[in-house]
Structure 1
Amino acid sequence: MAQQYTRKMIRDVFIKMLNERSLNKITVKDIVRACGVNRNTFYYYYTDVYAILSEIFQTELQAAIDEYNDTLSWEEGFLVATKFASENRKAIYHVYDSMQREELENYIYNVSGTVMIRYVEKVSDGISASSGDKKLIASFYQCALTEMVLRWIASRMKEDPDTIIRRIGQLFDGNIALSLKRSASLNDV
């Protein structure tokens, strides 16, 4: 229990600092001072500040997976998954502008993939689309969503993500089911 508390405290302090300053301006010394722990305690949990960042993205991805369920549309699932980014905009800017951008890109790509794979599976219920086509459809939307989110971050998140995602949902409503039905009809040929 104490280990979980300490680990969470280190992560929370790191996120707070990342919302205040760029990633390359955060040191282990800063974190241990703010947490009131010694360096050995920090190194017991993490090898460096980048390990904290990686764990945060992994934890957020798992939370998104756990929270997403079959009653959610892909739009709602994606908004749940991007909640961390919306709540920590400055931290996300600082990661995006750093040498660790790839961590952020991988996180967004994985979140998009998880949401779309689950959604395509849900929509394909009763449609005899091939598994290869299901993967292709999910991958297409995964890549599109990933790039849209990265562009949104690059533009400093000026637009409301809820508005954008819901609009995309309205514009493309039914396209996934239509693509799955096309797959089924191509398999019948």
Structure 2
Amino acid sequence: MTRKLFSRKYTKRTRFTRQCIGEAIIALVYKKDFDSITISDIVKTAGVSRMTFYHYFKDKTEALGNYLQEVIDGYQEVCPKDITLVMLRRETSIRQALHYFDQYTSLFLTLEKAGLYSLMINAINDYMRIYVAPYYSGSIYELYFYAGALLNTFIEWEKGKKKEPVDEIVQILLSLTTD
């Protein structure tokens, strides 16, 4: 099932509530294992009712996935509307992606720590399928390759406490993705 990233029209209050729930889960993962986090833990931390939680989400994985989609939606706002893989492969685009997602390090590392890498790869694949593929004449698998390489490199770089400067990471990715 393909999620339409920008098709959701939330009010500011709805978006705020959903983000509070996502942020609550992130905060809780720092204290305990994702599998042991209960809905009661989440609603207490988020300051919402159980009924509110279930109004928006069926479970904590869906809530966390929604929070991640909001982050991906935000990235789309800083990118050209007709972005192509050629544009994504540019030095400035790679740097922009690394800087943008660096703002959400705790989210990505929390998802990775919780064993929810699939949420991240699904979100970035959706981005490629929805926003890049319509303007790209090559194979969708090239887009998936690029998305996976960028995501995995970013996560490992963050886990390593960004020992290498961003310019070095950009050059490594450029060398792998240019002809």
State the TM-score bracket (shorter-chain normalisation).
0.5 to 0.7
Q: Tell whether 2:39 aligns with 1:28.
A: yes
Structure exhibiting the larger radius of gyration computed from Cα positions: 1
**2:29 is aligned with what amino acid?**
L
State the partner residue of 1:131.
137
What pairs with 1:155-170 in structure 2 (closer than 5 Å)? Answer: 157-160=159-162, 163=165, 165-170=166-171
Judge conservation of contact 2:24–2:45 (CA < 8 Å) in 1: yes
State the partner residue of 1:95.
111
CA shift in 2, pair 1:108/1:81, >3 Å? farther
In the aligned structure 2, how far is the partner of 1:64 from the partner of 1:3?
20
What is the root-mean-square deviation of aligned Cα atoms in Å?
3.7
Judge conservation of contact 1:10–1:31 (CA < 8 Å) in 2: yes
**Structure 2 unaligned blocks of 5 or more:** 1-11
State the partner residue of 2:64.
53
Judge conservation of contact 1:109–1:146 (CA < 8 Å) in 2: no
CA shift in 2, pair 1:19/1:169, >3 Å? same
CA shift in 2, pair 1:26/1:5, >3 Å? same
Q: TM-score, normalised by structure 2?
A: 0.64
In the aligned structure 2, how far is the partner of 1:40 from the partner of 1:110?
29
In the aligned structure 2, how far is the partner of 1:140 from the partner of 1:39?
39
CA shift in 2, pair 1:55/1:65, >3 Å? same
CA shift in 2, pair 1:161/1:66, >3 Å? farther
Identical-residue share of aligned pairs (%): 19
The structural deviation recorded for 1:97 is 3.7
Total equivalences in the alignment: 157
Q: TM-score, normalised by structure 1?
A: 0.62
Instruction: Pick the structure with more helix per residue.
Output: 1
CA shift in 2, pair 1:109/1:160, >3 Å? farther
- Relative contact order: is structure 1 or structure 2 higher (C-alpha 8 Å, sep ≥ 6)? 2
